[in-house]
């Protein structure tokens, strides 16, 4: 059986607002993904360590504090040091467009601004995890494959 998409939702730093992160986490769960929510006030190190231990496909960071230009590069650097660059990093929050472009050049795969429909986030994750890992795409049964050969 194929493995479900696994997402870690993290709230790094001193930002104490997590309503958006919880809404996204619930939407991802409702879409059939396995979601690990780290809770508030996490360090970049604890988020990366949890992502590796939980064997996630994606880390989604929610940042409203203005520390995005420090936190995202640090998470990417830690993933590289831990030889876990296959984990996709995405995020959301209050991030100016100029900074979004800079962060995407550094390796953040996608940034979602305030008001992004959760269906758009779900769609993006399914498309991008499926493209990188055959484990998340449904496989045809042997019966279907052999029937096509006939």
CATH code of the domain covering residue 37 = 3.40.50.280
Q: In this predicted structure, what is the pLDDT of residue 131?
A: 57
Q: Is residue 34 part of a domain?
A: yes
Q: In this predicted structure, what is the pLDDT of residue 85?
A: 96
Number of domains in the chain: 1
Q: In this predicted structure, what is the pLDDT of residue 1?
A: 36
CA pair distance 29, 85, nearest whole angstrom: 24
Task: Provide the whole-model pTM.
Answer: 0.85
Q: Is residue 1 part of a domain?
A: no
Q: In this predicted structure, what is the pLDDT of residue 3?
A: 84
Q: In this predicted structure, what is the pLDDT of residue 148?
A: 41
Mean pLDDT per 10-residue segment, the chain (150 residues):
87 92 98 97 97 98 96 98 98 96 98 96 95 44 39
Asked whether the beta carbons of 7 and 125 are under 8 A apart, the reply is yes
User: Could you list the residue range(s) of the whole structural domain that residue 43 is in?
Assistant: 6-149
């Amino acid at each position: 059986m194929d493995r479900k998409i696994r997402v870690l939702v993290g709230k790094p730093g001193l930002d104490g607002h997590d309503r958006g992160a919880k809404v996204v986490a619930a939407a991802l769960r409702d879409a059939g993904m396995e979601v690990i929510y780290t809770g508030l006030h996490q360090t970049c190190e604890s988020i990366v360590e949890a992502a590796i231990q939980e064997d996630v496909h994606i880390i989604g960071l929610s940042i409203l504090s203005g520390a995005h230009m420090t936190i995202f590069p640090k998470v990417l650097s830690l993933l590289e040091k831990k030889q876990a660059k296959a984990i996709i990093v995405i995020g959301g929050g209050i991030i100016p467009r100029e900074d979004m472009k800079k962060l995407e050049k550094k390796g953040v795969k996608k940034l979602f601004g305030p008001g992004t429909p959760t269906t758009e986030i779900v769609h993006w994750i399914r498309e991008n995890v499926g493209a990188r890992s055959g484990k998340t795409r449904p496989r045809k049964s042997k019966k279907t494959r052999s029937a096509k050969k006939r």
